[in-house]
């Protein structure tokens, strides 16, 4: 009689809900051992799909934060002297993280370009909310050269 609870797909599905880390370790062992019939494929597919979505979400979130700080640096003159060091540091970090993300997943580059306008719109709204700047002060279109958004030497 087989008493190892990790050998059945049903138990694997239960394990997924009860101990995610152990489920991952077990699944990795099963893949390495080529025990494909024991793998909880539904949850493997769900997790892989989630990983892809997470990478895309991170790219967009970091781009919004980057554009937000570029806008503050360019247009929030009242706070510029006091906050520019922090904004510049944040700009550098977001660029660094975005470049690492694009280096690890070059297939995200088209998404980066496609998301630019929506991310700029979101960043613009955030800046308007945080700063009380006049709506007509911030351009509706991206005021920065797109080719320079990730350029570490570029600041507005």
15-73 per-position pLDDT tens digit: 888 888 888 899 999 999 999 998 899 999 999 988 889 999 999 999 999 999 999 99
Q: Same domain, yes or no, for 61 and 126? A: yes
pLDDT band at 10 (very low <50, low <70, confident <90, very high): low
Mean pLDDT for the chain overall: 91
Q: How far is Cα 91 from Cα 69, in angstroms, rounded to an integer?
A: 6
Dihedral angle computed from the Cα positions of residues 83, 86, 91 and 93, in that order, rounded to the nearest 10 degrees = -170
Q: What is the pTM of this model?
A: 0.81
132-148 pLDDT tens trace: 899 999 999 999 999 99
**Are both 33 and 87 inside the same structural domain?**
no
* Residue 24: domain span: 5-38
Considering the domain boundaries, does residue 106 fall inside one? yes
Instruction: Quote the pLDDT of residue 7.
Output: 52
In this structure, the dihedral spanned by the alpha carbons of residues 141, 57, 62 and 101, taken in order and rounded to 10 degrees, is -120
Which band of pLDDT confidence, cut at 50, 70 and 90, is reported for residue 102?
A: very high
- Counted domains in the chain: 2
Whether residue 92 sits in one domain with residue 132: yes
Answer yes or no: do 62 and 126 share one domain: yes
Same domain, 98 and 143: yes
* Residue-level pLDDT at 4: 52
Whether residue 112 contacts residue 102, with contact meaning beta carbons closer than 8 Å, is answered with: yes
Same-domain check for residues 142 and 82: yes
- CA-to-CA distance for 114 and 105, rounded, in angstroms? 16
Between 42 and 6, name the one with better pLDDT: 42
């Amino acid at each position: 009689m087989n008493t190892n609870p990790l050998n059945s797909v049903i138990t694997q599905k239960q394990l997924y809900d009860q101990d995610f880390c152990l489920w991952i370790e077990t699944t990795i062992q099963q893949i390495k051992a080529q025990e494909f019939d024991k793998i909880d494929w539904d949850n493997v597919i769900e997790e892989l799909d989630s990983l892809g979505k997470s990478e895309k979400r991170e790219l967009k979130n970091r781009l919004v934060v980057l554009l937000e700080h570029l806008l503050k640096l360019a247009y929030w003159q009242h706070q510029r002297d006091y906050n520019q060091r922090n904004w510049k540091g944040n700009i550098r970090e977001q660029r660094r993280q975005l470049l690492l993300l694009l280096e690890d997943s070059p297939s995200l580059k088209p998404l980066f370009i496609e998301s630019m306008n929506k991310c700029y719109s979101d960043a613009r709204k955030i800046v308007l909310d945080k700063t009380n700047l006049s709506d007509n002060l911030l351009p509706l279109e991206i005021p920065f050269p797109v080719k320079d958004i990730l350029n570490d030497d570029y600041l507005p």
